[in-house]
Amino acid sequence: MATTPRSGGSGSGAAQRPNGTSQNKSCQFKLVLLGESAVGKSSLVLRFVKGQFHEYQESTIGAAFLTQTICIEDTVVKFEIWDTAGQERYHSLAPMYYRGAQAAIVVYDIQNQDSFQRAKTWVKELHKQASPNIVIALAGNKADLSNIRVVEFDEAKQYAEENGLLFMETSAKTGMNVNDIFLAIAKKLPKNDNNQGSVIKPNGNEPTQTTNNCCK
């Protein structure tokens, strides 16, 4: 289950650990996955981080944490991914994770209209509650089953454009678009060095503050 950041890398060709002498810039981003339960959030991350796919993925409790590092041009981007649980009872946890996140992927199941509606409410919540310059991507998962789709590509695409989201239909099973969507997010994220400090900092400090707020 638990992975160290270095153990993966086989699935994503771009993933590469920086070596000590490299003069590449390096950035670290906190990314959160949101969406209804059983839309394939954990599978998506598993495909991205380890290149694996389990037909019967256990449901996530609370939230899971994974890291993955990729290279874009001369920048090393390290993703700290919080894969939240989709079940309704864990909904109250989500703000802890998307607060202070630089990127979010909202996932829905293309066979499930409800999950798409849920995704929309997530997007709304993110716009309202999350940091204003958060990069949001919308992922229509299970694209390998497009023959029995319910949510049309165009409908989702249109919604994404209206709300300024990145959009891709993905399949954790086949690996389609999985790396691409993470790469797209990485590209869209600000990577200049000046930003780096402010990028890393909230990761270290803000979560503790939010915890204090919510638990007191």
Establish if 92 lies at the interface with another protein (CB under 8 A).
yes
Q: Which of 2, 23, 128, 148 binds another protein (CB under 8 A)?
A: 2
Which of 35, 140 has the CB closer to another protein? 35
Identify the bridge partners of residue 68 per DSSP, sorted by sequence position.
Answer: 79
Which one of 31-39, 80-88, 107-115, 158-166 is the stretch in contact with another protein (CB under 8 A)?
80-88
- Tell me the pairing of strands 166-169 and 25-35: unpaired
CB of 37 to another protein, least distance (A): 13
The SS3 call for residue 183 is helix
Establish if 215 lies at the interface with another protein (CB under 8 A).
yes
Question: What would you measure as the largest C-alpha separation in the chain, in angstroms?
Answer: 50
Establish if 101 lies at the interface with another protein (CB under 8 A).
no
Q: Which of 80, 175, 176, 202 binds another protein (CB under 8 A)?
A: 80
How far apart (Å, rounded) are the C-alpha atoms in residues 12 and 59? 24
Q: Which of 14, 72, 93, 184 binds another protein (CB under 8 A)?
A: 93
CB of 211 to another protein, least distance (A): 5
Q: Which of 129, 146, 174, 211 binds another protein (CB under 8 A)?
A: 211
The SS3 call for residue 40 is coil
Q: Pick from 48, 16, 25, 26: which is nearest to 137 by CA?
A: 48
Which one of 83-91, 167-175, 178-186, 188-196 is the stretch in contact with another protein (CB under 8 A)?
83-91
Q: Which helix (H) or strand (E) holds 135?
A: strand 135-141
DSSP state of 146: G
How far apart (Å, rounded) are the C-alpha atoms in residues 58 and 178? 20
Side-chain half-sphere CA neighbours of 134 within 13 A: 28
Q: Which of 15, 31, 64, 138 binds another protein (CB under 8 A)?
A: 64
Which of 130, 160 has the CB closer to another protein? 130
Q: Pick from 191, 64, 210, 61: which is nearest to 135 by CA?
A: 191
**Contacts to another protein by CB under 8 A:** 1-5, 20, 60-65, 67, 80, 82-83, 85, 89-90, 92-93, 96, 200, 204, 207-208, 210-211, 214-216
